[in-house]
Amino acid sequence: MNTLRDIEQFWDANPCGETLVGKDQEWATFFQRYDEFRYRTEGHILGELDRLNLAGKNVLEIGIGQAADSAQIIHRGGRWHGLDLTAEAVFRAKTRFELFRLPYQAIKQGSATAIPYPDKTFDLVYSHGVLHHIPPIRQVSQEIRRVLKPGGKLVIMMYHKHSLNYLVSINIVRRLLMIGLFGLAKIGARPLITNPLLVGHLQNAREFGLWTYLQNPLFMMRNTDGPGNPYSKVYEPHDIAADFSEFRIENTRVHFLNERHLPVLKVFPQSARTYLASKLGWHLWATLG
Ligand SMILES: C[S@@+](CC[C@H](N)C(=O)[O-])C[C@H]1O[C@@H](n2cnc3c(N)ncnc32)[C@H](O)[C@@H]1O
């Protein structure tokens, strides 16, 4: 079992989504490019945030990454408090808020397994793409219940098991590619394989043995956020109900086809892709109360 320390080290060294735009520019330009990319490819996030009627609400965001959604919460009038396991995410959020003069309440480095706030503090806890990376998830659910006011809501995005990304891209396409890559390395092509992601997967296959590496959940975990990712879990609504049994699910919605990993989807018209995303997308959003 991976410890929180392993998870902290991974996210400190791999700040969420950074490779999608590259960090070879000034912070202000980086944040602008990051946001442009994020909301061009995941525009549904803005619609989901609009639904939350954030004005005047005491919000805790758990797992802040590049603080893009944090800025959106502040723009919508939320009284934003942030919590992240890593010093890097806390530094980036502070840098962003200072550069763009965004008002916030507090930001703390710490874990969702021991939330550093008193009972009944928040109207809303928001956590996008984070809680599926935390093994002691029952502890997290209890902690979130504790810091929410009575009637407060929890809004989460978890990786979706019943998705094209998991069922087709990870379970079939990537497994076949992994077998091919391993075969190429075996016949002497290893020096030609220089892409860091491929090198990482080859190292994993060598360390665990190819057959063991191809088994889930190990293979899934190493294919959601890079070959070094220590932990992920994929969810259906009934898994959310079990892991967050202090809550009742009020609604769920599915978004995001992750076409980067399955480029063949681009041949479908936009209307078909939007429909597919709402059924077989990679991001399962849930509101719990
Ligand atoms: C995949 S990123 C998601 C960031 C952001 N919410 C987004 O959607 O881009 C995961 C973030 O959660 C943080 N994180 C991981 N485990 C955590 C924990 N136990 N408590 C608080 N934050 C955690 C990581 O440091 C990282 O910033």
- The answer to whether 8 and 80 have CB atoms below 8 angstroms apart is no
Q: Is the CB of 58 under 6 A from ligand 1?
A: no
d(CA 264, CA 7): 33
Closest CA to 107 of 129, 86, 128, 134: 86
Q: Is the CB of 73 under 6 A from ligand 1?
A: no
Superfamily of domain 4-161+234-288: Vaccinia Virus protein VP39 (3.40.50.150)
Give the DSSP H/E element, type plus range, for residue 114. none
pTM above 0.85, yes or no: yes
- Atom 13 (ligand 1): residue with closest C-alpha? 63
| 8 A C-beta contact, residue 228 and residue 197 | no
5, 133, 142, best to mutate for ligand 1 pocket (most atoms within 8 Å of CB):
133
Which of 59, 85, 88 has most ligand 1 atoms within 8 Å of CB, for mutation?
85
Q: Where are the domains of the chain?
A: 4-161+234-288, 164-221
How many other CB atoms are found less than 10 A from the CB of residue 180? Answer: 10
Signed CA dihedral, 146, 148, 153, 158: sign only = negative
Q: How is the beta sheet containing 283-288 ordered, strand by strand?
A: 106-109, 79-84, 58-62, 122-128, 148-159, 283-288, 249-255
pLDDT in tens, the chain (289 residues): 568 999 999 999 999 988 888 877 899 999 999 999 999 999 999 999 999 999 999 999 999 999 999 999 999 999 999 999 999 999 999 999 999 999 999 999 999 999 999 999 999 999 999 999 999 999 999 999 999 999 999 999 999 999 999 999 999 999 999 999 999 999 998 889 999 999 999 999 999 999 999 999 999 999 999 999 999 999 999 999 999 999 999 999 999 998 888 888 889 999 999 999 999 999 999 999 9
Selection from 129, 80, 84 nearest residue 106 by Cα: 80
